Each structure stands twice: as C-alpha cells, then as structure tokens.
Amino acid sequence: MSGESDKQLRVVGQKTARVDGQALARGKAVFADDMRLPGVLHLKVLRSPHAHAGIKHIDTTRALALQGVAAVLTYQDFEPHYYTSAGQGYPEPSPRDMLVLDRTVRFVGDRVALVATETPEIALQALELIDVEYELLPAIFDLETAIGNQVIIHPEDGATGIHDARQNIAAHIEAQLGDVDRGLSDSTHVFEGRYATPYVQQAHIEPHITLTWLDADGRLVIRTSTQVPFHVRRIVAEVLDYPVRKIRVIKPRVGGAFGGKQEILNEELCAAVTLKTGRPARMEMTREEEFYAARSRHPMIVKLRIGVSKDATFNAIDMEILENSGAYGTHALTVMSVAAQKTLSLYKAPHLRVVGNSVYTNLSVAGAYRGYGATQGLFALEVMMDEIAQQLDIDPIELRLKNRYEEGDEIPIARILGEGREGFPLKLHSSGLRECLQLGRELSDWEVLRTGGGDSHLKRGIGVAAAAQGSGIPGIDMGSAMIKMNEDASFNLMVGATDIGTGSDTALAQIAAEVLEVPVSRMIVYSSDTDLTPFDTGAYASSTTFVSGGAVMKAAEKLRQRILEQGARLLGVDQAEIRAGQVVDGNGNRISYEEICTRSFYTDEQRQLMATASHLSYDSPPPLNATFADVTVDTETGLVTVNKIVSVTDAGQIINPQMAEGQAEGAIPQSLGMALSEYMQFDETGAPLHTDFNSYHIYTAIDMPEMVIRFVPGHEPNGPFGAKAVAEIPINAPAPAVANAIYNACGVRVRELPITPEKILDALESS
C-alpha cells in the first residue's frame, strides 16, 4: 500500500499548487458565512455570569414580546438528553455530561437561554429582556483541590461515562510495564520534577459559525465550519431525536480550527431553531465567546520521576498527570491518554508507569487543541531531559540519542495505552530522530551557542527538545474515498476527509494522481458533504494523510486496475500496462484514457469506471521532530527574545513540501505563544480576564524569529507512498526548547508556562 521507496515519483513530493488556491486567492464565496439565506434568523446565547449556579426561575415573557423575536428557548424546551460536544468516534470516550440547555450552569459563559431574532441587534436586546433568578452554588477554581472537594460539580443523575462524579474525576488512566518502584530503587540516579502548562486558546481567525435551513424536500441542511461533519450529523440527530437520513452536513472551506472545531457547539442550537420555526438560522460566536465559551487546551500538571543507570540509560519512568477539564469532560480521557502515550513513546525504559486524573472545575471547558496532550506531556519530559543532561554533565543531544527508540523496536506502552482504550502493538518501522537531531545541531550553530551567557545583561543561549506524535488513532480512525473517471481523462475524487486549511484536498489529489499517472489538474476534489462523500471520522489526530490518504490510494489502485483491464480489452490483448495516461500493449499499440472512458460510456462494454475504498489502520507510526531554539534573555527586564528556531522533522515521504513547511510555520508561533506569552486567566469569581487579542497575546508576524524548517528523507512502509503525519508534530518541541535555551542563557529553570519576565526576574533574584 505504501508504494516502492525507490520508485521515481512524478506528483507526490513535488511542490503543487493547492486545488482550492484560485478560489481562496480571489475571495470567492467558499466559507461557511459566504452564503446569504433569505429570512434567516440570527441566534444569540444568554450566557451565565456565574461560575456555578442553579436556575431557580427564568422568565422569557418580555423577550418574546419584543418585535422581531421569533423564538426563545430554555432548558424547558429540550428533553434532558445527556451527550458530549466532543466530536469523536462512536461510542465517544468522553463523558456524556452536558445538556443542550441545563438548569444548572457550571462556568462563566455556560448556556442559559437561546434567542432567535430577525436581526443581530434585536438578538442583543432580547437577551437583556430575559429575567433569570439564580441560586448561587460554591465553585472550584483550583485544579489541585478539585478531587474530593465537598463541592460536586456533576451530582446529577443521567450523566454517563464520568469516572467518579463524587470525587470530581471526569476521567482516569492507569498503566504499568515492569516494576517501576524496583526500577527506581535500582537506578544510580533518580530525577524528579513538577511541570505545568496553562489554558491556551486556539485563536483561529474564523470563529465558530453555522447556518441551517430546510431544503426543498424538508431535510435539515447544516453548513458549518467544522472538523468533523459526520460526527456533527450523528450528534445532532441523537440530541434532537431527528433521523440521520433527514440531515445533511456540508463543510465548506474552514478559516482555521486547530482542534477547536472538533466540537459541536452551534450546530444543535441552529438545528433546533430551524426545526422549531421552519426558517433558516445563523449563529456566529464572537471573539469574546471564543475565549470563554468555546474550547481551549487542557491545563496540565505533570510530575515525573526518571531513574537513570550509571551509563546514562533510562531504567524507569514514572509519570503522574493532573488535568483540568473545566466544567465538562470533553476530550478529558483521550487528551490525557495521548499525553501519556506519546511522551512514553519517545525514550526506552524497561519500567514504565502512568497514573492520571482529569478533574472538573468551574472554569472554561477544555477540549482538543493541536498536539492534543502530547504538547503538555512532552514539555515536562523534554525539560527534565535537559535537567538530567546538565546534572550528569552530558550533551543533551547525546542523552536523547542514547535513549531513543530505534527502527525495529517495539514501543511497549502502545500495547496497553491507546487513545481512550487499550492500545495496539506498535513496531517502529521508520525513525529519523537521529538525523533530525544531527541536522538540527548543524543548522543551529549548537557548538558555538552552547557556551551560553555573555558579558552584558543580554544573555544568549540555545536549547533543544525532541518530540513524537502519531499518524491517526489505530483501530478507530477510518477514511473512505470514491473516484470516478470522465471522458476527458479527468477524475472526480470524493472524500469524507475534512480540509480545514491544511491543504489535505491537494495532498489527497496528489496521491490519486500519482497512482493514476495523471497531473493533479485532472483531479476534481469534493470533500466533506455527508450526502455526497463517503464516511470519514474527520480532521484530527493527524489522521488525514495516513488514514484518508490510505483510502485514496486503495481506491486509485482499484481504478487503475479497472482502467488497465478495460484498455486491454479494447486493444484486444490479454496483457498491457499503463504509461502516463495511456494503456499500452506489448506491440506498442496504445489507447488513451480519454478514448477508454468515452468508449466505455457510449459504445464498448458500457460501464462507469470508478472505485471505492475504505482504510483503517491498526498502526500509527510516529512522526518525529527535533527543535532548536536560540534565545536572548535580558536579565534586567526578564524579557526573552527568540532569535531563531530550527525545526527538523521526520514525517516519512513528504507529499507536498510547501504545505508541510506551512504546517511547521504555523505550529511554531502557537508553541512560542504557549511558552512565553499566552495563558487564559480568570478572576476570583471564575470570570475570564482575557477576551480579545489586545489582552491575550498570540505570536504575530512582527514577533516571529528566523525559522529554519527542514524534513529529513524517510519512508514509512505502512503509509501512502511512505508518508507519515505532519500536521501536529511541529507544535510539540518549541516550548521546551525555549525553556531549555533560557536556562542555557541565564541559568534560570522555569517549569511552569508561560515563562514571563516576572518569573525570570524572581528566579534571578533568588539565585
């Protein structure tokens, strides 16, 4: 299925223009909100001003009396059906702990009521006219005191999948290989550390936006900016008790997602209004709502103990995770599982143990964010790697090389710890981590900058971090594809895979074009319409290239064989071969794709040449990365300037070099933001302090350092044409690399992100 590693590739691996590039560049109507529906109702949500409260009484009389108000919905208008907003494979591993509208609110920004009006301005007026009497309840804001707290955030009957509601534990993991306690006691050195990462927001440009209407046949159409159209259809059908066959979900172009749109946040509300009123509905979250009412990265405290033998090899790794899920448990189990599994898949140790708890608090709900737990876990591991190297007086790169998994090794943690369930065996068939570290060393001036420090108050240093991720969720993620041939030797490629700005439509077209030996311009791609395209679990877990690409490759190979057989019949021979869009027999006689298809349609053995395929993998080969950060620390102000980032990745065969580079270029500022400037804060009542980009500081173009991005050659035998995933891996290593560089520059070790000037100055003063 992977293709021969030494085969000359014509399309795969080449810089190829995006198949949607012209429409995007010209500003054509391609996004969710680029459609104007006559008679559309505008939706707004009344959100809770309290972190924890019961609704004693709600009166919508005045709002309903306002001219231009078509509907006002409260918890009284919905059957109490518990679900999860997490768009994950069925049955979802996340707790089913939320209602469309609830009588209890659990964070500032939780849903209280929904209004549907003729204009957005009337909607804001209507919200002011809803009278709500609350019974205030005590709240939990501290992650470390949530377990066993006398305040129980989810005491209700009906919710399912919560690990221990009485203890506020949304999800729990526990896994062990070997005997960790004995392994630690037998070690020459034991290192311990506590590391913390905060709430951070995905900050995608396009907000969550959904439009719904009834088509000519009375079917519900949902046009929405989502990563998971098929999950949207399933969850809306379930929550509203509406048949799947009567729902169509269309995913247009998406203006950024990064995991935040792996969530059903607007779709069920718009659908409910359309079904109630018969009218189109539109809902768009404001930037403020995106910050506190959408989703964010799970804050996490990770404690590590690593036992090291005399020769600097690892003997035991003990990992403890405490994760803040916020008010609801979306992605609680799976983010924590990925944090453990990806972290413990990077370095060998015969004894491994992880215990983790994801807990409820009365703060904003956490969810999926690019890296999905690996980012948090690897920050802890890679900073501790630097600490171990420093204390053992060994080069940090050499320590990583000494302990890394190598090609041919089995990664044992994968057998017992999957994503929300038991895992599958994982053998490392390809690994370029050594090459990543070695090339990064050369490109970053490691030897020169490693001396650190300087004579002035400006101290320069360099740090390194390694990272692993996965290529889809083994045994869970499934993609499908259908390809049909046209008379001009063009092909319609229909995939359920969801392009969320990553360029996956183009990459999948390249895979099909390579198999069929035609240029990408002959591929007409249509994706993510639940009526017209085959099923796909969605764009998450770095699954599209590896899983959906596998389905495209299978379908293309089937179609290629059918074209070959039909061409041979038309030539009157038993044996033939395909050469660049033609079928050629042994005597040099040839027939073009165009003639094969036209004659198949109209004259000879009439048939549609087409093929379908699905792909499910029980393997998830890890892409690998080494990131080097060159920083300057001003010891008078505590300010950190990132001078240069070198990011080197092993993602197997790169399908599209430009798009792969773009993935790294987009991931690096997200990780630098988490390292130095981004964190969502809340006041003593649980209200958010950051609700716009003036107060919440993401890395922008003027903040960016020089970036050097490279990919080492590689071939993954289980991937399409040797490819592994590339989307998430570059986000995991920049933050720990920066933390390690700061230590190299000025001797300050900060184990809690973000690394602010205040933290650096405090550490310098106390040293």
3-state SS record for 88-148: CCCCCCCCECECCCCCEECCCCCEEEEEEECCHHHHHHHHHCCEEEEEECCCCCCHHHCCC
How far apart, in whole angstroms, are the C-alpha atoms of residue 159 and residue 96? 6
Q: What is the crossing angle of helices 593-602 and 549-571, to 10°?
A: 80
Contact between 647 and 707 under an 8 Å Cβ cutoff? The reply is: yes
- For 100, phi then psi, to 5°, come to -55, -50
- Tell me, letter by letter, the H, E, C secondary structure of 594-663: HHHHHHHHHCCCCCCCEEEEEEECCCCCCCEEEEEEEEEEECCCCCEEEEEEEEEEECECCCCHHHHHHH
Q: What is the crossing angle of helices 549-571 and 504-516, to 10°?
A: 30
Mapped onto helix, strand or coil, the DSSP state of residue 20 is coil
Residue type, 389: A
Q: Which positions of the chain have pLDDT values less than 70?
A: 1-7
Contact between 728 and 371 under an 8 Å Cβ cutoff? The reply is: yes
Residue type, 402: K
> Which region, left, alpha or beta, applies to residue 482 given φ > 0 means left and ψ of -120 to 50 means alpha?
beta
Which pLDDT value is given to residue 604?
A: 82
What are the sequence ranges of the domains in the chain?
Answer: 21-30+478-616, 41-137+208-284, 300-473+619-766
Does 3.20.20.140 match the CATH number of domain 41-137+208-284? no
Q: Which two tokens stand for residue 150?
A: 């006398």
Q: What is the dihedral of CA 717, 718, 723, 728, to 10 degrees?
A: -130
Q: Which two tokens stand for residue 522?
A: 């002959």
How far apart, in whole angstroms, are the C-alpha atoms of residue 746 and residue 459? 6
For the segment(s) 300-473+619-766, the CATH number from 3.40.50.300, 3.30.365.10, 3.30.830.10, 3.30.465.10 is 3.30.365.10
Contact between 649 and 624 under an 8 Å Cβ cutoff? The reply is: yes
Contact between 105 and 363 under an 8 Å Cβ cutoff? The reply is: no
How far apart, in whole angstroms, are the C-alpha atoms of residue 186 and residue 308? 9
Tell me the residue length of the chain. 767
In this structure, how many other beta carbons lie within 10 angstroms of the beta carbon of residue 398?
Answer: 12
How far apart, in whole angstroms, are the C-alpha atoms of residue 281 and residue 360? 33
Mapped onto helix, strand or coil, the DSSP state of residue 420 is coil
Q: What is the crossing angle of helices 433-443 and 396-403, to 10°?
A: 170
How far apart, in whole angstroms, are the C-alpha atoms of residue 255 and residue 271? 22
Which pLDDT value is given to residue 1?
A: 58
* Per-residue DSSP letter, 709: E
At the top level of CATH, which class does the domain 21-30+478-616 belong to?
A: alpha beta
Which pLDDT value is given to residue 28?
A: 84
Contact between 220 and 420 under an 8 Å Cβ cutoff? The reply is: no
How far apart, in whole angstroms, are the C-alpha atoms of residue 153 and residue 156? 9
Contact between 267 and 234 under an 8 Å Cβ cutoff? The reply is: no
Which pLDDT value is given to residue 540?
A: 85
Q: In a 10 Å sphere around its CB, with 0-12 CB exposed, 13-18 middle and 19+ buried, how is residue 128 labelled?
A: exposed
Residue type, 191: F
Which pLDDT value is given to residue 56?
A: 98
Q: Which two tokens stand for residue 24?
A: 């995007």
Buried b (16+ CB within 10 A) or exposed e, 704-716: ebebbbbbbebbb
How far apart, in whole angstroms, are the C-alpha atoms of residue 356 and residue 420? 12
Which pLDDT value is given to residue 6?
A: 53
Q: What is the crossing angle of helices 734-746 and 657-676, to 10°?
A: 50
Among candidate residues 489, 473, 555, 723, the one with its CA nearest the CA of residue 623: 723
Q: Hey, do 21-30+478-616 and 41-137+208-284 end up sharing a CATH topology, with the first three levels equal?
A: no
Among candidate residues 228, 272, 269, the one with its CA nearest the CA of residue 249: 228
